[in-house]
């Protein structure tokens, strides 16, 4: 059964946040297992509440580009996905949103510093 056919309660039962099914910015979803290993590690750390590698991890993401579904300020938080060989934070990020930071309703991956986002499907 596809996620779009499930109700919010059913989505939560299978570990897929209801907001993920409702909000899909341009770009097809990417399975968690399809992300770079560094992104998979950051996602695990988000769910565990850290620790994080960079001081800016967990800061509020303002969505100034309006590439993600509109939400009140403070809904989205961003996390750096390390880029092997990069001396800086690089361009890769995971942005998650929800009422409780450690229980995100939805997460997105960008590898081009917010120019595009792919919803993360945690089931795959």
Q: Could you give the residue numbers annotated as active site?
A: 78, 113
Question: What is the rounded distance in angstroms from the CA atom of residue 113 to the CA atom of residue 6?
Answer: 32
Ramachandran angles phi, psi of 60, nearest 5°: -65, 135
Question: What is the rounded distance in angstroms from the CA atom of residue 9 to the CA atom of residue 18?
Answer: 7
H-type alpha helices, the chain = 8-13, 18-22, 37-48
Question: What is the rounded distance in angstroms from the CA atom of residue 84 to the CA atom of residue 89?
Answer: 10
SS3 state at 32: helix
């Amino acid at each position: 059964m596809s996620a779009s056919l499930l109700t919010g309660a059913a989505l939560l039962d299978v570990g897929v946040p209801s907001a993920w099914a409702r909000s899909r910015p341009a770009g097809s979803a990417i399975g968690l297992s399809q992300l770079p290993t560094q992104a998979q590690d950051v996602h695990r750390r988000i769910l565990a509440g850290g620790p994080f590698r960079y001081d800016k991890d967990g800061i509020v993401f303002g969505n100034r580009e309006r590439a993600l579904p509109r939400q009140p300020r403070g809904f989205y938080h961003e996390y750096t996905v390390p880029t092997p060989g990069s001396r800086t934070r690089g361009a890769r990020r995971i942005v998650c949103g929800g009422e409780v930071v450690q229980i995100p309703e939805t997460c997105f991956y960008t590898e081009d510093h917010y120019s595009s986002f792919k919803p993360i499907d945690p089931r795959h």
